[in-house]
């Protein structure tokens, strides 16, 4: 299954998007909404699972305007950094 990170142009600057497409023709499309921790490995995995079911799936990095990154370490979260994005 093809997957890639893309950058799309928005009025507020560039936005990263993780994209996964099924092998063959997509039956539909779906937008995977990130959690508070950004488009991390978990969100990328969810996006790939939808692609495996036949969907063209994308996960846009919605915090791109605030400079938000991603957090993959769920055991050592610093919520003060996250709260600043809301």
What's the pLDDT tens digit per position in 32-80? 998 877 898 999 999 999 999 999 999 999 876 655 556 656 566 666 6
Higher pLDDT, residue 56 or 84? 56
Q: Is the pLDDT score of 4 beyond 90?
A: yes
- Main-chain dihedrals φ then ψ at residue 68, nearest 5 degrees: -70, 140
What are the C-alpha distances in Å from 19 to residues 46, 69, 85? 11, 17, 24
Residue 13: predicted pLDDT: 86
Token look-up 């063209």 returns 56
Mention every residue, 6+ apart, whose C-beta is less than 8 A from residue 67: none
Residue 64: predicted pLDDT: 62
pTM of the model: 0.78
């Amino acid at each position: 299954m093809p997957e890639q990170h893309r950058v799309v142009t928005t009025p507020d600057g560039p936005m990263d998007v993780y994209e996964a497409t099924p092998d063959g023709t997509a039956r539909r499309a779906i937008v995977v909404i990130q959690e508070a921790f950004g488009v991390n490995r978990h969100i990328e995995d969810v996006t790939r699972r939808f692609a495996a079911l036949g969907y063209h799936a994308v996960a846009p990095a919605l915090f791109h305007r605030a400079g938000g990154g991603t957090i993959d370490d769920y055991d050592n979260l610093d919520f003060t950094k996250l709260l600043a994005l809301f």
